[in-house]
């Protein structure tokens, strides 16, 4: 059996990645420090006999015994509410963490896939965004700690490929949703559903004419799986190009949740992108991939998951591990 190391295994995407590989009959080693991950996700994965877990911060030296065939680096805070509270850790996991994992991939002769993001495009001046667009990013703005960590991660990954010959893959992930998202992570979809479930008004930042494109998690994981087993070393967009304004999206959530709350408006955060839509021609061409799950279906599955959460989880405002990391 092939063995896979997945960092960020306790997170939303990391746990789904682990589950996919377990279902494909791989041995999976999960790694996470629980700064934003959930012990519940690890508990789900631990039911599989081929899953093992190490609690570790990948920004520190990584030692793993035995062979590793594939590494998937998904460790990172991934939403503004996270990386604005723990900016140093966000920069470290994208730089030091990536360096450590690339070194491990080199030593183990493993294929490594790193999770980049549509945030490398910043507030884009090109629409939709193709992989050859260099982006419009403010390196010292509030979102710069995440944007530049991911841009550095891509540069470091390509350097290890060109200089050391490491087999690398880079996926640029666009807005993704589904079960196991944190309701309090600050992203628009869980924020809207959480507000609806708590009987609160839905909050839109800006005028609501900004757009997003939402990809259901199963579609994303399929794309990542295909990319890992391809021979393509350069960045690839994986996302759903079905674009919608935040105003229209809020109305969809109100209809889904059968809520009669109002929509209220607050100022747009600094450097918040106004347009976000992936060009997925490259993924379609080299991976024969495109999303299959319609937003209506995916939202229903996600809403059902959120409805299953406890009252404590529904009203939880902050993550338990943030404070312990503020000293670093």
pLDDT tens digits, residue range 60-91? Answer: 999 999 999 999 999 999 888 888 899 999 99
Classify residue 15: in a domain, yes or no.
yes
Classify residue 67: in a domain, yes or no.
yes
Q: Does the active-site annotation cover 177?
A: no
Classify residue 306: in a domain, yes or no.
no
Which 8-state DSSP code applies to residue 268?
A: P
pLDDT (0 to 100) of residue 279: 97
Question: What are the two backbone dihedrals, phi and then psi, of residue 280, each rounded to the nearest 5 degrees?
Answer: -110, 20
Tokens of 196: 């609806």
Which 8-state DSSP code applies to residue 207?
A: S
For 26, the 3-state DSSP assignment is coil
d(CA 204, CA 65): 48
Taking 80 as the threshold, does the pLDDT of residue 210 lie above it? yes
Of 169, 58, 31, 155, the closest CA to residue 113 belongs to 169
Q: Which helix (H) or strand (E) holds 80?
A: helix 80-83
Classify residue 199: in a domain, yes or no.
no
d(CA 29, CA 75): 13
Of 291, 289, 293, the closest CA to residue 302 belongs to 293
3-state helix, strand, coil in the chain (%, to 5): 40, 20, 40
Q: Which helix (H) or strand (E) holds 88?
A: helix 87-108
Q: Does the pTM of the predicted model rise above 0.85?
A: yes
d(CA 81, CA 6): 24
Please measure the distance between the N-terminal and C-terminal CA atoms of the chain and give it in whole angstroms. 39
- DSSP for 289-316, please give it: ----S-HHHHHHHHHHHHHTS-HHHHH-
Classify residue 264: in a domain, yes or no.
no
d(CA 194, CA 188): 10
Catalytic-role residue among 146, 177, 216, 303: 146
Classify residue 156: in a domain, yes or no.
yes
Classify residue 207: in a domain, yes or no.
no
* Domain with 44 in it: 3-180+216-240+277-293+321-325
Confidence of residue 260 (pLDDT cuts 50, 70, 90): confident
Count the domains in the chain: 1
pLDDT tens digits, residue range 28-64? Answer: 999 999 999 999 999 999 999 999 999 999 999 999 9
d(CA 306, CA 314): 8
Classify residue 41: in a domain, yes or no.
yes
**CATH code of the domain in which 80 resides:** 3.40.50.720
pLDDT tens digits, residue range 242-256? Answer: 999 999 999 999 999
Tokens of 236: 């690839």
């Amino acid at each position: 059996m092939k063995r896979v190391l997945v960092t960020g295994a306790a997170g939303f995407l990391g746990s789904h990645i682990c589950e996919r590989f377990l279902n494909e009959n791989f041995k999976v080693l999960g790694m996470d420090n629980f700064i934003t991950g959930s012990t519940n996700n690890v508990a789900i994965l631990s039911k599989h006999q081929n899953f093992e877990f190490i609690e570790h911060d990948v920004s520190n030296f990584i030692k793993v015994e035995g062979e590793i065939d594939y590494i998937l680096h998904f460790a990172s805070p991934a939403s503004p509410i996270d990386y604005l509270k723990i900016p140093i850790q966000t920069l470290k996991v994208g730089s030091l963490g990536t360096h450590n994992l690339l070194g491990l991939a080199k030593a183990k002769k493993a294929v490594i896939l790193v999770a980049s993001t549509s945030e490398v495009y910043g507030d884009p001046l090109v629409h939709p965004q193709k992989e050859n667009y260099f982006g419009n990013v403010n390196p010292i703005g509030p979102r710069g700690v995440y944007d530049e960590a991911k841009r550095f991660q891509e540069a470091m990954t390509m350097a290890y490929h060109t200089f050391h010959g490491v087999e690398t893959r880079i996926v640029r992930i666009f807005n993704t949703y589904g079960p196991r998202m944190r309701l309090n992570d600050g992203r628009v979809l869980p924020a809207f559903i959480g507000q609806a479930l708590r009987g609160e008004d839905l909050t839109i930042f800006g005028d609501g004419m900004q757009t997003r494109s939402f990809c259901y998690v199963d579609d994303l994981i399929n794309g990542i799986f295909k990319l890992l087993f391809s021979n393509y070393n350069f960045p690839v967009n994986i996302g759903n190009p079905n674009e919608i304004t935040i105003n229209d999206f809020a109305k969809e959530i109100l209809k889904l949740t059968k809520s009669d709350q109002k929509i209220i408006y607050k100022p747009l955060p600094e450097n918040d992108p106004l347009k976000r839509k992936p060009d997925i021609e490259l993924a379609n061409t080299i991976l024969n991939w495109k999303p299959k799950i319609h937003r209506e279906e995916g939202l229903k599955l996600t809403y059902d998951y959120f409805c299953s959460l406890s009252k404590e989880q529904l009203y939880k405002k902050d993550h338990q591990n943030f404070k312990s990391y503020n000293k670093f």
